[in-house]
Structure 1
Amino acid sequence: MDRQSNILGSRMVRGRVQQLLLGLTATATLVVGMTGMGAATATADEVVATVPAGDAPSWVAISPDGTRAYVANAGNSSVSVIDTGTNSLIDTVAVGRDAEGVAVSPDGSRVYVTSTGDDTLSVIDTGTNAVIDTVTVDSPYGVAVSPDGSRAYVTARTDNTVVVIDTTTNSIVDTIPVGSVPEWLAVTPDGSRVYVATEGDGSVWVIDTTTDTVSNTIPVWGQPFAVAIAPDGSRVYVTNFADNSVSVISTATDTPTANIPVGEDPFGVSITPDGSRVYVANFGDNSVSVINTATHTVIDTVLVGVGPYSVANTPDGSHAYATNRLQGSVSVF
């Protein structure tokens, strides 16, 4: 069993206790969040709403127009659809078993969801919020879509590969061997490279999308999990959950240039559209670290729900959404 699974298991008991202790607070926050949430505006990095999601929410992705947040729920095999204008749950879409990863196409018309329990990638039509196709992928986890929307890249954790899918035909067109236990991945803004965090060998693998071959391997600190790339493509930010840090990689040289201490057991990571801030979901201490990308220092820590697992920013940079895996909710700040 990988260390990520051990961490999730070991935190479960503590998380359930915290849920009981925080029950009244969470309920009050939900009431506030569900009444007049559309008018709430964060003047700083502070939680302004808490939205109910499914059981064990994993990854979150925001639509390109910023109107919807899509949350993959591992516990009840579904995707929660959140209206970001009102911060309310407006739909739930049934997908494959143990839904983990989620990504939205650049035009906002499709949502791609990995389900580790039945080895599928579900394709959702956002116009109808219905699954229109499924692709069989062995042990899928992370998913990312190319900037032109023509390809979806999916990590296959037990096969140690990245699967390339043609989004027009929803069929596999290539399989690329990478390191041990690939977790999350991200595509550069120009679509030329994919950066893949491989937990098992403590590295980030770089894929050339022109040839679908590995062009570089970058050792980092601890066990890497998630990846986010700066809007200008100059830097890659990688969470190391065994080291409680975030590695910064220069894409010009594919070498680490900094290692930033953050909270306990960092998993998900995102970056604001202007590239000035990086947000890190710290599963172990129920917080999100805010990093100033100019100084590579943590400038704020936001307390969220129990077991924050992933985080995503809205396209205008005004809000962030963090999934609380042990609380069945999403914090908005």
Structure 2
Amino acid sequence: MLRRRALPLAVVGLFSFVVAACNSPTANEQLASLLSSSARCERPPGGAAPTGRGHPALTGHTTVPLAGMPFAVAVSGKGVVYVTQGHAGSAVRADLPSTVLSAPFAVGDLPSQVRIHPNGQTAYVSNQDAQTVTVVDVATNQAFATVPVPAGSTLTLGLSPEGDHLYALTDFYGVYVINTATRQVIDSIPSSATGSLLTGVAFHPLAPCMYIAARDEGAIRTVDLREDSVVHTDAVSGARIQNVAVSLDGRLLFATDIQRSKLLVRDLTTEGSTFLEYAIGSGQVRNAFDVAVTPDNSQVYVSTLADGKVYVLDRATRALVDSIVTGGSARYIGFSRTGAHAVIANEMGWVDFLYDDPHAASPVCLRPPAGTAPAGFGHPGLSRRDSVALDGTPFAVAVSPAGVVYVTQALAASAVRADLPSTTFSAPFPVGYLPSQVRMSPDGRTAYVSDQDAGTITFISVATNQAFGTAIVPEGSILTTGLSPDGSRLYALTDYYGVYVIDTATRQVIGQIPNAGTLLTGVAFHPFAPCMYVAARDEGTIRTVDLRNNTVVRTDAVTGARIQNVAVSRDGSVLFATDIERSKLLVRDLPSGSATFLEYPIGTPQRRNAFDVAVTPDNARVYVSTLADGKVYVLDRATRVVLDSVRTGGSARYIGFNASGTHAIVANEVGWVNFIH
């Protein structure tokens, strides 16, 4: 067996060296070096944790979708985040504080773990069954070398605190030691000493000691890195130990017991100490997974596979401080160097970013301000009501500022165009399968059509009526879409996967709001505040989302209702919603923060009737379409008195207005479009 040169012992004059070192800018490094040379791994020294660091405030939580089974996480000292995609042979990158993920880049098959060198220049990715470690240049995200591992599957990787050695932990072949400078295996620790199925690894911050977990044995072995030899074994009866971590002062060893969902804790400074056990979450089998200590040494994070949560415990007392709902199955956890951010990979298809949100203390969306509606606009005079035939199930409507009208044909995978004041339609043009909604950019140049069951949004050039790009959502059927008032973000509302946030410039999904409810059919935006309103139809709920952090800040439920769509008055004072179950218009005052919805009957009180709601550009009237009555009801916006009803026949779906308010366009699924002017 190859041996590295043992570190020289230096115990003479320890006290005087420590006193002198305390005045040095590199005191911690010098002290750690001296302690490393003399420490016994059976009883390593405790010390002081690094100062000037913190832990995530947990006021901000952003979920970013990521395909390919997000698994392992590493964060460099400069805030570069790598997340591996276990089933895609790739990884993605974010640069904190941004939570935007890069396009995937190749890192080798089955990337089971990733570590970043202390200098931040190189990342190391273990390729579980390929018997390799891929070496990646962080500056370019390009792999530039591979290190062969002689045998076995590499289940996880350890990187020494100095970054000079990698430790490849395998299934049945022990640990291989790799020199990071030469990229050569220079030593090994046989499985007869380490045990098998090595899933966890951690390093002591002050002593040359490594801790490795042999999962199904329920054992943690202590390795003296000066000789790469096992010097101590701890076994916990009934446990299967998944991962390990050491407190940043070197005093405590933490371990997750995935079998019994427990956190195990041992005092390292007391030789022969035993593990204390703390229950984590539901206590079911295959639950507690990763454990990580915050950079300020004050808290311990434990991820869970079954509970879909990350539990936050006080490091000293192990009291539960908080639990973060991630959903899915939370895997590995990483922290930024300062502790301001936590990053959690979730194998079900997303990454959670936790941080201090500066907007949390100003919950404007709970009581958004009212303002003055735009002046100089009107509403349709209702004197002319033209009906233009259109096959393919006319469904959604959008009107550009210049008066370009798009109407989707749900069962024809196409749309048509009219240029107001003309009511003549163009020939149909393809927009994607089952076009459930269409929105126009504020400049009128681009239309966005959601293709319901294809999980795509087609980007259309309005100048040519030709598709030029597609955005893809990871999961679900897109029931409707919202476009932010500035046109920079699309919000794809799905059946069972919440809301996906799409950057319209890059056509990339950059965020997810998973807790927005199910069967999301309605969306509206406040005209003066960064607030979005999302209707979960069959729950009878409307959730208020703060768009500064994509966080649900309020949920309103209406007993007995199924809420189809929502709209906000042009002065921002009133939220309107259609109850398709009881055919009612629901109205809530926004500036007061009232939780009460006033209810106004619409047409005949039958099921599946009131559908869309829209406010005229002058803020004077509210239009409500109906499926069963075959009418559009026109109400006074302030009093909710019915002023008129426009007989459309058939089943009136979505309503659109031109910018000046002279025209209303109503799609009718039975086979025509009504122009009201």
TM-score for both structures, normalised by structure 2: 0.36
Judged with a 3 Å threshold, the aligned counterparts in structure 2 of structure 1 residues 216 and 330 are, in CA distance, closer, same or farther, namely same
Q: Deviations over 1:231-272 (max 9, x none)?
A: 135011111012101011010000111111136111111111
Contact 2:479 2:519 in 1 (8 A): no
In structure 2, the partner of 1:318 is 620
Of residues 154-163 and 220-229 in structure 1, the stretch that sits farther from structure 2 once superposed is 220-229
Matches of 1:279 and 1:269 in 2, distance apart? Answer: 5
Q: Distance in 2 between matches of 1:321 and 1:260?
A: 23
Of 408, 418, 437, the residue aligned with 1:124 is 418
Q: What amino acid does structure 2 have at the position aligned with 1:302?
A: Y
Contact 1:248 1:258 in 2 (8 A): yes
Distance across 2 between alignment mates of 1:66 and 1:190? 22
User: Are 2:400 and 2:444, in contact at CA under 8 Å, matched by a contact in 1?
Assistant: yes
Is contact 1:155-1:184 (8 Å) kept?
A: yes
SS of residue paired to 2:476: coil
Kindly indicate whether residue 410 of structure 2 is the aligned counterpart of residue 97 of structure 1.
Answer: no
Asked if 1:309 is matched to 2:611, the reply is yes
Match of 1:11 in 2: none
CA 66–113 in structure 1, closer or farther in 2 if over 3 Å, else same? farther
Distance change in 2, residues 1:90/1:172 (3 Å): same
Quick one: distance in 1 between partners of 2:377 and 2:452? Answer: 31
Larger % of helix: which? Answer: 1
Do the aligned partners of residues 275 and 133 (structure 1) sit closer, same or farther apart at CA in structure 2, a change above 3 Å counting?
A: farther
Q: CA deviation at 1:321?
A: 0.2
Q: What do the CA deviations read for 1:214-239 (whole angstroms, capped 9, x no partner)?
A: 11110212321121111135011111
- Give the one of 531, 538, 543 matched to 1:235: 531
1:57 match: none
- Tell me which of 506, 509, 513 is aligned to 1:214: 509
Match of 1:181 in 2: 477
Of 129-138 and 291-300, deviating more is 291-300
Counterpart residue number, 2:590 = 293
* Alignment CA distance shift 1:99-1:66 (3 Å): farther
SS of equivalent to 2:596: strand
Aligned twin of 1:106: 401
- Asked if structure 2 preserves the Cα contact closer than 8 Å seen for 1:287 and 1:301, the reply is yes
CA distance in 2, matches of 1:324, 1:129: 22
2:477 is the alignment partner of 1:145: no
Q: 1:245 aligns with which of 532, 541, 549?
A: 541
Percent identity over the alignment?
28
Regions of 4+ moved over 4 Å: none
Partner-residue secondary structure (3-state), 2:628: coil
Deviation of 1:296 (Å): 4.9
Q: List alignment gaps of at least 5 residues for structure 1.
A: 1-63, 68-83
Structure 1 position 159, deviation (Å): 0.6
| Equivalent residue for 2:453, pick from 147, 153, 158 | 158
Distance 1:287 1:318 in 2: 19
Structure 2 residue corresponding to 1:196, chosen from 492, 516, 520: 492
Q: Decide whether the 8 Å contact of 2:498 with 2:513 is kept in 1.
A: yes
Give the Cα–Cα distance (whole angstroms) in 1 for the partners of residues 518 and 486 of structure 2. Answer: 29
Pairs aligned (count): 251
* 2:557 aligned residue (241, 261, 269): 261
Q: CA deviation at 1:88?
A: 4.8
How far apart are the structure 1 equivalents of 2:492 and 2:463?
A: 23
**Residue identity opposite 2:461 in structure 1:** D
1:95 Cα offset (Å): 2.3
What is the CA RMSD across the aligned residues, in angstroms?
A: 1.7
Is the CA contact (8 Å cut-off) linking 1:165 and 1:173 kept in structure 2?
yes
Answer with 1 or 2: which has the greater Rg.
Answer: 2
Q: Is the 8 A contact 1:196 1:227 kept in 2?
A: no
Q: Deviations over 1:266-308 (max 9, x none)?
A: 1111111111111101100010111222215234211112410
CA distance in 2, matches of 1:298, 1:99: 35
Q: Assess if the C-alpha contact under 8 Å between 1:247 and 1:260 holds in 2.
A: yes
The one-letter code of the counterpart of 2:517 is: W
Q: Does 1:135 align with 2:433?
A: no
2:499 match: secondary structure:
strand
Residue 97 of structure 1 deviates from its aligned partner by 1.5
TM-score, normalised by the number of residues in structure 1:
0.72
Q: CA deviation at 1:93?
A: 1.6
> Which residue is equivalent to 1:18?
none
Aligned to 2:336: none
Tell me how far 1:150 sits from its aligned partner.
0.9
Gaps of at least 5 residues in structure 2 are 1-375, 636-677
Checking the alignment, whether the CA contact within 8 Å between 1:189 and 1:233 is kept in structure 2 is no
Is this contact kept in 2: 1:266–1:282, CA < 8 A? Answer: yes
The answer for the alignment partner of 1:76 in structure 2 is none
Contact 2:576 2:588 in 1 (8 A): yes
For 1:114, give the aligned amino acid.
T
The Cα offsets for residues 20-71 of structure 1, whole Å up to 9 and x where unpaired, read as: xxxxxxxxxxxxxxxxxxxxxxxxxxxxxxxxxxxxxxxxxxxx9544xxxx
Q: Which has the higher contact order (CA 8 A, sep 6+)?
A: 1
SS of the equivalent of 1:158 reads helix
Question: CA 1:175 to 1:256, structure 2 compared with 1: closer, same or farther past 3 Å?
Answer: same
Matches within 5 A, 1:39-118: 65-67=377-379, 84-85=380-381, 87-88=382-383, 90-107=385-402, 109-118=403-412
Are positions 1:272 and 2:590 aligned together?
no
Provide the C-alpha distance between the structure 2 equivalents of 1:298 and 1:312, rounded to a whole number of angstroms.
21
